[in-house]
């Protein structure tokens, strides 16, 4: 019997309308367009305005995806919602999303691996397809980073933005889909990128609010050092393990955290820059959203049979890479 692979059969994305430019940030913190552009590659990012959580962006992304694929929400078996900014601690945003879109036959859960969440979720979701357990698995990656960003901290507020993407996984027996993945984590790096309060260790209190502990905390240089080597190494490792040279790879889909980290991964894998999906200048770092948003934007250019290498690094530390063969 032919091996079952989990193939991406549809992709869609959603970014909020409001554009927060470098110029506008210049009026909020002591920064400038030249510094942000040269140190990160970011020109603007999207911000979700109004009383909405991350699931609202997912509703837009997933409803569009279902329409594209021509299926209804009640056909979905499982929803894996990769996010670091769920609507609330519980219920899971996967359950909130299922209710909003009418996925009445799906079970679901949230997956939190910070910026590596989407590659962790894609790998996890694939297992349910490969085992024959499920036929239709939705992997959603999205974050409303603006909900945990301190817009007085110039080193972090310039990087992050809001956005969400989603893919549908279905069985394929012709060799297309997720072929291999390498996932890693190192909890000793947790101290460098975290949200200190709001969990069971430091529940919300007047003191945690006064200390700005509900905002994202990042030691940028420490994170950069780990990200720049590990994301590049893991992408190269998955290529080596599958005997792929840079000529064999059609697309590199890197997490969009910093253009300098993307460039290091591009150099390490030996790919030419025209094969690398980069939209960091428009959206900044949308955490779980970056990779599916790239797939969405490049969907029209990617061809059936193309070899894609996805790579991410994030808080935890977590990092990983996925090798997949595009199915349509």
CB of 42 to ligand UT7, least distance (A): 9
| Count of residues interacting with ligand UT7 (CB under 6 A) | 22
Q: Is 286 in the site for ligand UT7 (CB under 6 A)?
A: no
The total of other beta-carbon atoms located within 10 Å of residue 162's CB is 30
DSSP string across 27-50: TTSS--HHHHHHHH---EEEE--S
Tell the residue number behind the tokens 């999207």, with chain if given.
46
Q: Is 188 in the site for ligand UT7 (CB under 6 A)?
A: no
Work out which of 4, 18, 19, 31 binds ligand UT7, going by CB under 6 A: 31
Q: Is 115 in the site for ligand UT7 (CB under 6 A)?
A: yes
User: CA nearest 80: which of 167, 156, 20?
Assistant: 167
Work out which of 81, 217, 224, 283 binds ligand UT7, going by CB under 6 A: 224
Distance, in Å, from the CA atom of 255 to the CA atom of 238, rounded to the nearest integer, reads 16
User: CA nearest 233: which of 148, 313, 150?
Assistant: 313
Distance, in Å, from the CA atom of 91 to the CA atom of 242, rounded to the nearest integer, reads 39
User: In the bound complex, which residue of the shown chain has the CB atom lying closest to ligand UT7?
Assistant: 220
Give whichever of 158 and 197 is closer to ligand UT7, judged by the CB atom: 158
Q: Is 155 in the site for ligand UT7 (CB under 6 A)?
A: yes
Q: Is 255 one of the catalytic residues?
A: yes
Catalytic residue (choose from 95, 112, 258, 285): 285
Catalytic residue (choose from 230, 255, 258, 294): 255
Distance, in Å, from the CA atom of 281 to the CA atom of 285, rounded to the nearest integer, reads 9
From 80-88, 96-104, 142-150, 217-225, span contacting ligand UT7 (CB under 6 A): 217-225
Q: Is 206 one of the catalytic residues?
A: no
Distance, in Å, from the CA atom of 14 to the CA atom of 124, rounded to the nearest integer, reads 23
Q: Is 195 in the site for ligand UT7 (CB under 6 A)?
A: no
Q: Is 223 in the site for ligand UT7 (CB under 6 A)?
A: yes
Give whichever of 103 and 159 is closer to ligand UT7, judged by the CB atom: 159
Work out which of 71, 198, 220, 306 binds ligand UT7, going by CB under 6 A: 220
Distance, in Å, from the CA atom of 142 to the CA atom of 60, rounded to the nearest integer, reads 11
Residues in region 242-271 near ligand UT7 by CB under 6 A: 257-258, 261
Distance, in Å, from the CA atom of 73 to the CA atom of 286, rounded to the nearest integer, reads 25
Q: CB–CB of 327/7 below 8 Å?
A: yes
CB of 29 to ligand UT7, least distance (A): 6
Q: Is 82 one of the catalytic residues?
A: no
> What are the residue numbers of the active site?
115, 255, 285
């Amino acid at each position: 019997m032919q091996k079952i692979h989990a193939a991406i059969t549809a992709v869609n994305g959603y970014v909020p309308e409001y554009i927060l430019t470098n110029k506008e940030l210049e009026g909020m913190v002591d920064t400038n367009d030249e510094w942000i552009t040269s140190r990160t590659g970011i020109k603007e990012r999207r911000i979700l305005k109004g009383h909405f959580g991350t699931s609202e962006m997912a509703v837009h992304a997933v409803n569009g995806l279902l329409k594209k694929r021509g299926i209804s929400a009640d056909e979905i078996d499982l929803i894996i919602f990769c996010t670091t900014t769920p609507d609330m601690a519980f219920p899971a945003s996967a359950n909130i999303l299922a209710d909003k879109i009418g996925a009445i036959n799906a079970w679901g859960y949230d997956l939190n691996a910070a910026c590596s969440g989407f590659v962790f979720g894609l790998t996890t979701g694939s297992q349910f397809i490969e085992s024959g357990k499920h036929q239709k698995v939705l992997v959603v990656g999205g974050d409303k980073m603006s909900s945990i960003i301190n817009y007085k901290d110039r080193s972090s507020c310039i990087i992050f933005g809001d956005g969400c993407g989603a893919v549908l996984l279905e069985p394929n027996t012709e060799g297309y889909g997720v072929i291999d993945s390498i996932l890693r984590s190192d909890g000793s790096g947790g101290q460098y990128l975290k949200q200190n309060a709001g969990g069971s260790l430091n529940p919300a209190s007047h003191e945690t609010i006064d200390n700005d502990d509900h905002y994202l905390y990042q030691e940028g240089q420490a994170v950069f050092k780990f990200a720049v080597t590990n994301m590049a190494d893991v992408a190269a490792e998955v290529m080596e393990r599958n005997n792929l040279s840079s000529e064999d790879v059609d697309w590199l889909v890197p997490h969009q955290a910093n253009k300098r980290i993307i460039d290091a991964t591009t150099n390490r894998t030996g790919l030419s820059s025209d094969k690398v999906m980069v939209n960091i200048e428009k959206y900044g770092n949308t955490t779980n959203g970056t990779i599916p948003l790239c797939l969405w934007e490049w969907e029209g250019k990617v061809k059936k049979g193309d070899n894609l290498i996805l790579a991410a690094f994030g808080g935890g530390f977590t990092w990983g890479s996925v090798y997949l063969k595009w199915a349509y």
